[in-house]
Amino acid sequence: MLEVRKICKSYGKKQVLQDLSFAIQSGEVYGLLGPNGAGKTTTISILCGLIQSDSGIITMNGQNSSGASRSLIGVAPQENIFYKSLTCEENLRFFGQLYGLSDEMCRKQARYCLDLVGLSDRAKSIADNLSGGMQRRLSMAIALVHQPQLVILDEPTTGLDIEARYEIWELIRNLRSQDTAILLTTHMLDEAERLCQRIGIIKQGSLLAEGNLEELRQYVPAKEIVLVCTSTEDLAIARAIELGYEFRHYGRELAFWLPRAMELKEILEQFDGIKIDSIVRQPVRLENIYVEVTRNV
């Protein structure tokens, strides 16, 4: 549906995007992950036509991106976009008119989108009186009012409580089931892990890794990760090296990469004679992959 090929963008001598390429299919949630300053916001701005790339090609449905094709994109930015003094329905009808919808279509789409995001009973409510989660859903409804084929969700659950996050997650899954293509940016890696069919990890404007979760696991060649708390860390690391285990520090946590899943008893036996205060087994997660991909760049 969307294809981005070798996009470059610089501001003066600072290169923000370097030959960035990725594609999103209909009915797919594609996660674009990266630290602050990686180029995610610039990428979104280029897709929306707010700024121009220096080079590269963007196509939608096989056609070069243009003003007409950009009308196929809906955007829910990090900051909610609506008029606080208007009702939910009034907001949707106003933005529908901006997209050139007729009055009848605006009314129809307002009802449909409010129902889609679970705000039908709030149609006459002033937007500023909604909870944070409801306001986020209203912002997403506005992004959907003109029936876009691609929806860009920029940090959709930032600042929301866990119940509101779950509601947004379910809405994203519903959009995907309707064959909508979704570009998702988030700093919450558990969110990307749950929602995205494919993930691209960028840093300093370059795509470092891409694929589904199983494909990305090649960057952490372990069957299991063990987190250890010990007062004799140097001894534990030396033993791990003897055993042929990779080790990493995740913040203050010491982690060992195990080549096969083991019972806790067997792991403790391998570290016999070393004081272990606590030990936790866990599968390889996206956060481990993300840290490994970006740590030396």
Please choose, from the candidates 153, 140, 143, the residue with its C-alpha nearest in 3D space to the C-alpha of residue 40: 153
For residue 64, the model assigns a pLDDT of: 81
User: pLDDT, tens digit, for every residue of 150-203?
Assistant: 999 999 998 889 999 999 999 999 999 999 999 999 999 999 999 999 999 999
Q: Which residue has the tokens 């946590």?
A: 253
Positions in the chain whose pLDDT score sits under 50: none
Tell me which CATH code domain 2-217 carries.
3.40.50.300
Residue ranges per structural domain of the chain: 2-217, 220-294
| HSE-CB for 13 with a 13 A CA cutoff | 0
Please choose, from the candidates 259, 261, 260, 248, the residue with its C-alpha nearest in 3D space to the C-alpha of residue 287: 248
SS3 assignment for 93-132:
HHHHHHCCCCHHHHHHHHHHHHHHCCCHHHCCCEHHHCCH
For residue 1, the model assigns a pLDDT of: 86
220-294, CATH topology level: Alpha-Beta Plaits (3.30.70)
User: pLDDT, tens digit, for every residue of 7-17?
Assistant: 999 999 999 99
Q: Which amino acid is at 185?
A: T
pTM, two decimals, is 0.91
Specify whether the CB–CB gap between 289 and 216 falls below 8 A: yes
